[in-house]
Amino acid sequence: MTEGLRPGLILIWQYWEGGRQTIRGHVGVIIEVLSETDFITIEGNTTDRKSVIREGDGVYMMRRTISRNGNF
């Protein structure tokens, strides 16, 4: 599923709503691929996941998982 992912690539999330693309999204830089579905990114405008802040409060390393339904 993550074939071709490697450190240094920019990952872009495109948000969808009601089956349509929105202008909202997010980006991160992949720093490590852990498995076919898990990897580590550096992302700005995010949180440490201990709280939910819409616009984020800093730059963090995040562990991301790709699911079959297209969500991270």
- CA-closest candidate to residue 65, choices 35, 43, 45: 35
pLDDT at residue 39 above 60?
Answer: yes
pLDDT at 68 over 80: no
- The whole-number pLDDT of residue 72 equals 52
> pLDDT digit string (tens) for 6-22?
999 998 888 888 988 88
pLDDT confidence of 69, banded at 50, 70, 90? low
Contact by Cβ (8 Å): 29, 6 = no
Q: What is the pLDDT of residue 54?
A: 63
pLDDT digits (tens, 9 = 90+) for 42-59: 988 777 666 656 666 788
